[in-house]
Amino acid sequence: MKNLILSLALLVAFTQTTQSQNFFTKNGKISFFSKTSMENIDAVNNQVVSVVNNQTGDMAFSVLINGFLFKKALMQEHFNENYMESAKFPKASFKGKIADLAKIDLAKDGNYPVSVTGDLTMHGVTKNLTVPGNIIVKSGKFSAMATFNLLLADYNISIPKVVENNIAKSIEIKVDCNYEPK
């Protein structure tokens, strides 16, 4: 139900004069990875909602924090309760624009390097960032992929001293979304 509400909210936010300009996914994937000498931590969320307008380059993402799945249940519990405080900050969102839109030809298969600039809101903090990525066009459909790093301190995510060596200060984020016309 929460995913449906997020989907509807994103669609309303990106209503355009012609619907064919919008591409949508409600099962995009965002994963993160923390590597330290003590422990590697990774999690994935396959319920990412995203909308892209191929005419303007506007792009938005919304992800429920408690949708991240870990290999160890205790890690997932600590992530939601102690670090991300998902009851207080239930989602992360990004609203931005593809800077290199003129380079993308949705009628021609290919891999198009792009950069996206916008505001990421997470844990109650909004920061502007620019992320390199790729738009892959195949058979009239496209996907978006990006890999970048975030500093936990930039989003007021504090790690207790007792486990500070188990969690990296910089976390690798991967985005992988397959879009359909909406």
Query: φ, ψ for residue 161 (rounded to 5)?
Result: -55, -35
Token pair of 150, please?
């975030």
pLDDT band at 49 (very low <50, low <70, confident <90, very high): very high
Residue 139: pLDDT band (50, 70, 90) is confident
Q: How confident is the model at residue 13 (pLDDT cuts 50, 70, 90)?
A: very low
For residue 104, is pLDDT > 60? yes
pLDDT value at residue 162:
85
> pTM of the entire structure?
0.85
Per-residue pLDDT tens for 51-95? 999 899 999 999 999 999 999 999 999 999 989 999 999 999 999
Would the pLDDT of 159 be above 90? no
Burial class (CB in 10 A: 0-12, 13-18, 19+), 76: middle
| 15-24 confidence digits (pLDDT tens) | 433 344 899 9
Domain 2-13+21-181 has CATH 2.40.128.110: yes
- Which has more pLDDT, 5 or 99? 99
Ranges of each domain in the chain: 2-13+21-181
Mean pLDDT, all residues of the chain: 88
Residue with tokens 């009628």: 107
Please state the φ and ψ torsions of residue 4, each to the nearest 5 degrees. -65, -40
Q: Which residues contact 102 (CB under 8 A, 6 or more apart)?
A: none
Would you place residue 134 in the very low, low, confident or very high pLDDT band (cuts 50, 70, 90)? Answer: very high
Specify the pLDDT at position 17.
37
